[in-house]
Amino acid sequence: MTKEELKYKLGEISREAAFDETGEFLNVIIPSPELLPLIKPLRLNKEFYFDYLFCITCVDWKDYLSMVYHLTSTLHRHTCVVQATITDVHCPQIESVSGIWKTAELNENEIYDLFGVTFLNHPNLRRLFLGDQWKGYPLRKDYTDEHMILL
Amino acid sequence: MQMTRKPSDITTDAKSGEVLHHEGEFIINMGPQHPATHGVLHLKIWLEGETIKKIEPHLGYIHRGIEKMCERLSYRQFIFSTSRMDYLSAHINNQACALAVEKALGLEVPPRAKAIRIILAELTRIASHELWWACSGLDLGGVTPFFYAFREREAINDIMEETCGARLTQNFIVPGGVMSDLHHNFQKRVKRVLTQIKDNLHEYDEILTGNIIFQNRLKEVGYLSREDAISYGCTGPAARGSGLSCDIRKLYPYDGYEKLDFDEIIFNEGDCWARYRVRMAEILQSVHIIEQLIDSIPDGEFQAKTKNVIKLPKGQFYQRVETARGELGVFIVSDGAATPYRCKFRSPNFSNLSAIPQMAQGAKIGDLVAIMATVDLVIPDIDR
Amino acid sequence: MVLITGYVKMNGTEINIKKTGFLKEYFGTIFTSLSSLLTGMKLTGYYFIHPNKIITEQYPDNRATLKMAERFRGEVTLPHNENNEHRCNGCQSCEIACPNGSIKIVTKHEISEDGKKKKRIDTWVYHLEMCTFCNLCIEACPSKAIVMGKKFEHSVYDKSQLVKILNKPGSKVMKEAEE
Amino acid sequence: MEKLHLLFVFSFSWLASHLNMWLRTGIGNSFLLLVTEMLIAGISLLAFLVILCFFLGYMERKVAAFMEIRLGPNRVGPKGSLQIVADTVKLLFKEGLTPDGSDKFLFNLAPFVVVVTSMLAIAPLAFARDFQLWDVNIGIFYVTSISSMAVIGILMAGWSSSNKYSLIGAMRSGAQIVSYELSIGLSLISIVILSGSLRLSDIIQSQANGWWIFKGHIPVLISFIIFIIASTAEINRAPFDLTEAEQELTGGFHTEYAGMKFAMFLLSEYINLFIVSAIAATIFLGGWMPFHIGNLTGFNHAMDYIPSSLWFFGKTFFIIFIIMWFRWTFPRLRIDQLLNLEWKYLLPISMGNTLLVSAMAVFGWYL
Distance CA D214, CA B147 (A): 38
Q: Does any CB of chain B come closer than 8 Å to the CB of residue C57?
A: no
Q: Which chains are within 8 Å of D by 3+ CB pairs?
A: B, C
Name A122's Cβ contacts closer than 8 Å, sequence gap at least 6: A96, A98, A105, A108, A109, A112
| Domain assignment present for B99 | yes
Question: Closest by alpha carbon to B95, among B324, B374, B378, B368?
Answer: B324
Q: Does any CB of chain B come closer than 8 Å to the CB of residue A29?
A: no
Residues D233-278 pLDDT 10s: 888 887 888 888 777 888 788 888 888 888 888 888 888 899 889 8
pTM value is 0.86
What backbone phi and psi angles, to 5 degrees, belong to C92?
65, 20
The secondary element (H helix, E strand) that includes residue B52 is strand B51-58
Domain extents in chain D? 2-11+93-363
Residues of A in contact with B383 (CB under 8 A): 129
Fold for the domain defined by C76-178? Alpha-Beta Plaits (3.30.70)
Distance CA B335, CA B233 (A): 29
Question: Closest by alpha carbon to C87, among C96, C95, C78?
Answer: C78
Q: Does any CB of chain C come closer than 8 Å to the CB of residue D35?
A: no
**pLDDT score of B11:** 67
User: Percent of chain D beyond pLDDT 90?
Assistant: 2
Residues of D in contact with B371 (CB under 8 A): none
pLDDT for D156 beyond 70: yes
Q: Does any CB of chain B come closer than 8 Å to the CB of residue A19?
A: no
Enumerate long-range contacts of C170-176, CB under 8 Å, 24 or more apart: C170/C84, C171/C80, C171/C84, C171/C85, C171/C86, C172/C83, C172/C84, C172/C85, C172/C86, C173/C85, C173/C86, C173/C87, C173/C88, C173/C89, C173/C120, C173/C121, C174/C81, C174/C85, C174/C86, C174/C87
Q: Does any CB of chain C come closer than 8 Å to the CB of residue D221?
A: no
Distance CA B130, CA B194 (A): 13
**pLDDT score of B108:** 85
Q: Are residues B15 and B113 in the same domain?
A: no
Angle at B54 between CA B52 and CA B56, to 5 degrees: 125
Q: Cβ of D328 and C47 within 8 Å?
A: no
What backbone phi and psi angles, to 5 degrees, belong to B179?
-70, -45
Name D19's Cβ contacts closer than 8 Å, sequence gap at least 6: D37, D40
Q: What is the DSSP letter of B368?
A: H
What does the DSSP assignment read for D260-320?
A: HHHHHHHHHHHHHHHHHHHHHHHHHH-TTPPP--TT-HHHHHHHHTS-HHHHHHHHHHHHH
Residue-by-residue pLDDT tens, chain B, 384 positions: 344 555 556 666 777 667 666 767 788 888 788 887 777 888 888 888 788 888 888 888 888 888 888 888 888 888 888 888 888 888 899 999 888 888 888 888 888 888 888 899 999 999 999 999 988 888 888 888 888 888 889 899 988 888 888 888 888 888 888 888 888 888 888 989 999 888 888 888 888 888 888 888 888 888 888 888 888 888 888 888 888 888 888 888 888 888 888 888 888 888 888 888 888 888 888 888 898 888 888 888 888 888 878 888 888 888 889 888 888 889 988 888 888 888 888 888 888 888 888 888 888 888 888 888 888 888 888 888
| Domain assignment present for B1 | no
Note whether C88 and C121 are within 8 A (CB). Answer: yes
Residues B12-63 pLDDT 10s: 677 766 766 676 778 888 878 888 777 788 888 888 878 888 888 888 888 8
Q: Cβ of B174 and C7 within 8 Å?
A: no
**pLDDT score of C178:** 62
**pLDDT score of D8:** 44
Mean pLDDT of all residues in D142-158: 86
Cα dist. D58→B57, B326, D49, D53 in Å?
41, 43, 14, 8
Q: Are residues B13 and B88 in the same domain?
A: no
Domain extents in chain A? 3-120
Q: Are residues B53 and B201 in the same domain?
A: no
Q: Which residues of chain C have pLDDT under 50?
A: 1-13, 15, 17
Q: Are residues B47 and B156 in the same domain?
A: no
Do D and A touch (≥3 CB pairs < 8 Å)? no
Secondary structure tally for chain D: helices H, strands E: 17, 2
State the best of B216, B218, B221, B272 to mutate against chain D, taking most chain D CBs within 10 Å: B216
Q: Cβ of B233 and A60 within 8 Å?
A: no
Q: Cβ of C55 and D326 within 8 Å?
A: no
Bigger pLDDT: D19 or C176? D19
C46: nearest CA partner in chain D: D67
Cα dist. D11→B246, D283, D306 in Å?
74, 21, 11
Residues of B in contact with D162 (CB under 8 A): none
Q: Cβ of B162 and C7 within 8 Å?
A: no
B210: nearest CA partner in chain C: C13
Report the domain count for chain B.
2
Q: Which chains are within 8 Å of A by 3+ CB pairs?
A: B
Distance CA B171, CA B166 (A): 8
Q: Are residues B89 and B187 in the same domain?
A: yes
Domain A3-120, CATH among 3.50.50.60, 3.10.20.580, 3.30.460.80, 3.30.540.10: 3.30.460.80
Residues A100-131 pLDDT 10s: 888 888 888 888 888 888 888 888 888 888 87
Range of the domain at B51: 7-58
pLDDT for D62 beyond 50: yes
String of b and e for D165-177 (b: at least 16 CB within 10 Å)?
Answer: bbbbbbbbbbbbb
Q: Are residues B121 and B14 in the same domain?
A: no
State the best of B186, B205, B273 to mutate against chain C, taking most chain C CBs within 10 Å: B205
Q: Are residues B236 and B296 in the same domain?
A: yes
What backbone phi and psi angles, to 5 degrees, belong to C104?
-130, 120
Note whether D170 and D159 are within 8 A (CB). Answer: yes
**pLDDT score of B251:** 85
Count of CB atoms situated within 10 Å of the CB of D36: 15
Cα of D247 to nearest chain B Cα, Å: 5
Q: Does any CB of chain D come closer than 8 Å to the CB of residue B39?
A: no
Domain extents in chain C? 3-52, 76-178
Q: Cβ of C47 and D68 within 8 Å?
A: yes
